[in-house]
């Protein structure tokens, strides 16, 4: 089969001279020379991995991140998943622990990790899988909360519906998708009304604000992300008690508003290499869970100079908004008072366009219709010309591993059929003896358009958003997208 770029509708459009990336981490945006400048942030600390200089840098990152979010304390960790898991463990101990005195005893051993076992946690449905995995690691049961068309984040009305059906749930994990603030103030208010703790996953949202307040400051616990040098590689836990690539290229910062036990964790890590022995003492959180020196240095620089990256990404989003035909494509929206970080520029095919596309676990297919274009058709076209694109988040409730869990929308709350489940002593669980027929019952992708997260996935696409993309390259991307909507009927398998 000939390449899609050879079709007549793309006549006159030249392939890109270089690959146009989907996104680029902070290190690539500023060049390797930025590391030398970033070292100025260290205040004279040596550039090495010795215990003294390493922990001095880590403490500086923690302090500056805490200042950014208006917190008092910080704890640097290695990944957003570890940060969220730590938040869940602390939140569960705070709410469900067997005695507050034991929880605040100053020892990490007082947090057993079993407090969440068998209990429900409300989780954003339109989010990366790293947002929900820690719930399963801690033995909890996720209930997915549908997205809102206003910002693609957690829908407050769906959250209220979930509390109506599961009033005993006391922990909520809220994700800001692609650096666009969700309705955090409303969600925070709902959590307060129901006596629930809010864990804010802002791992893609450094620099984003809502009504002047930075993302990462709304939760009882929050994970604030840095781009760093690539994949997710750090977090910082912050607390107000005195005492963290784009897309998923996150170096998050973790923060807590209230838990006194947080301080014992911070002290345990800060002293983890102070003993004279040559091997590591593997307590609950040790140096293996800390970010590396490079990640810490890049985080320091991004805290000071990250606004320039956001300005570039905003310019890319604005050019898409201005040049894409809004009768064909609609850019990801954001609410009044929101200042996104624009980690990704995403679009949906306009709702009135009746494209034909099927997605299965192992691939996709679409029927080319004159005047219409399926998201994966646009994806194939951009890829053929040398530009990266990607589907938007697949709703977590539709993932094979999560189909047996409940979903709450603004209209209904589903309760899937019971499956035979095996539970490990550490709280991990998995389905056994589940037939393919049962799996089909749990997964009906695209059949119910009242599920907003499914409809965003059906119509959505992440467009090339790398900060280094030129205006000329972006103009060609828009030209390719427009050309996808002009063709006679045909069929392509992907």
Tens-digit pLDDT profile for residues 158-185: 999 999 999 999 999 999 999 999 999 9
Residue 65 has a pLDDT of 85
Check: CB of residue 148 under 8 Å from CB of residue 156: yes
Residue-wise pLDDT for 109-152, tens only, equals 445 567 899 899 999 999 999 999 999 999 999 999 999 999 99
Q: What is the mean pLDDT of residues 251-265?
A: 47
> What average pLDDT does the segment 15-22 reach?
93
What is residue 367's predicted lDDT score, i.e. its pLDDT?
A: 85
Structure tokens at 107: 């020892």
Has residue 157 got a pLDDT over 70?
Answer: yes
Cα separation, 112 vs 400, whole angstroms: 29
Tell me the C-alpha distance between 407 and 158, whole Å: 9
In this prediction, residue 429 carries a pLDDT of 36
pLDDT-based confidence at 416, cuts 50/70/90? low
- Token pair 């003896």 is found at 433
Contacts of 213 (CB under 8 A, 6+ apart): none
pLDDT value of position 101: 35
Cα→Cα distances 471→167, 233, 246, 333, 488, Å: 51, 31, 20, 22, 30
pLDDT tens profile 359-403: 888 788 898 777 889 999 999 999 999 999 999 999 999 998 898
Domains of the chain: 4-29+307-395+451-493 (3.90.1150.10), 33-305 (3.40.640.10)
Closest CA to 236 of 368, 57, 45: 57
Residue 20: C-alpha distances to residues 16, 160, 206, 219, 470 (Å): 7, 42, 24, 36, 9
pLDDT computed for residue 59 by the predictor? 82
Quick check: 356 pLDDT over 80? Answer: yes
Chain-centroid distance of CA 346 in Å reads 14
Average pLDDT, the chain: 77
Q: pLDDT class for 444, splitting at 50, 70, 90? A: very low
Locate 22 and state its tokens: 């989907």
Q: How far apart are CA 7 and CA 136, in angstroms?
A: 47
Q: What is the mean pLDDT of residues 61-74?
A: 80
- pLDDT above 50 for 485: yes
- Among 23-27, 385-389, 408-412, the minimum mean pLDDT is found in 23-27
């Amino acid at each position: 089969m000939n390449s899609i770029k050879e079709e007549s509708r793309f006549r006159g459009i030249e392939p890109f001279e270089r690959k146009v990336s989907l996104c680029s981490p902070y290190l690539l945006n500023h060049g390797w020379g930025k590391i030398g400048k970033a070292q100025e942030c260290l205040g004279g600390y040596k550039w090495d991995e010795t215990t003294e200089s390493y922990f001095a840098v880590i403490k500086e990152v923690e302090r500056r991140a805490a200042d950014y979010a208006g917190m008092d304390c910080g704890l640097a960790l290695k990944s957003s998943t570890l940060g969220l898991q730590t938040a869940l463990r602390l939140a569960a101990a705070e709410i469900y622990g067997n005695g507050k005195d034991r929880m605040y005893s100053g020892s990490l051993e007082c947090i057993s990790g079993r407090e969440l076992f068998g209990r429900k946690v409300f989780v954003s449905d339109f989010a990366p899988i790293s947002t929900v995995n820690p719930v399963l690691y801690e033995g909890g049961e996720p209930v997915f909360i549908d997205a809102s068309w206003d910002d693609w984040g957690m829908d407050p009305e769906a959250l209220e519906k979930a509390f109506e059906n599961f009033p005993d749930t006391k922990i909520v994990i809220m994700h800001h998708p692609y650096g666009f603030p969700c309705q955090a103030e409303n969600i925070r208010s709902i959590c307060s009304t129901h006596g629930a703790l809010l864990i804010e996953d802002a791992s893609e949202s450094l620099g984003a604000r809502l009504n002047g307040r930075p993302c990462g400051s709304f939760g009882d616990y929050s994970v604030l992300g840095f781009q760093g040098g690539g994949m997710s590689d750090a977090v910082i836990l912050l607390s107000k008690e005195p005492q963290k690539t784009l897309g998923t290229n996150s170096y998050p910062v973790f923060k807590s508003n209230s838990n006194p036990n947080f301080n014992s964790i911070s002290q345990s890590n800060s002293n983890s290499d102070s003993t004279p022995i040559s091997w590591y003492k593997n307590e609950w959180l040790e140096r293996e869970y800390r970010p590396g020196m490079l990640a810490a240095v890049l985080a320091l620089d991004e805290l000071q100079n990250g606004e320039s990256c956001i300005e570039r990404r905003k310019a890319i989003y604005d050019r898409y908004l201005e040049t894409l035909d809004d009768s064909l494509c609609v850019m990801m929206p954001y609410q009044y008072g929101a200042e996104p970080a624009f980690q990704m520029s995403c679009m949906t095919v306009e709702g009135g366009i009746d494209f034909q596309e099927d997605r299965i676990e192992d691939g996709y297919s679409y029927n080319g219709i004159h005047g219409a274009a399926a998201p994966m058709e646009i994806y194939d076209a951009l890829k053929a010309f040398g530009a990266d694109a990607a589907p938007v988040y697949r709703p977590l409730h539709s993932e094979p591993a999560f189909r047996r869990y409940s979903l709450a929308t603004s209209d209904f709350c589903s309760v899937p059929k019971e499956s035979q489940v095996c539970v490990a002593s550490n709280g991990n669980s998995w389905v056994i003896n589940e037939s393919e027929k049962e799996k089909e019952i749990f997964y009906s992708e695209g059949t119910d358009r009242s599920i907003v997260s499914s409809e965003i996935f059906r119509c959505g696409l992440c467009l090339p958003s790398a900060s280094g993309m030129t205006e000329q390259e972006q103009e060609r991307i828009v030209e390719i997208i427009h050309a996808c909507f002009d063709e006679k009927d045909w069929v392509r398998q992907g």
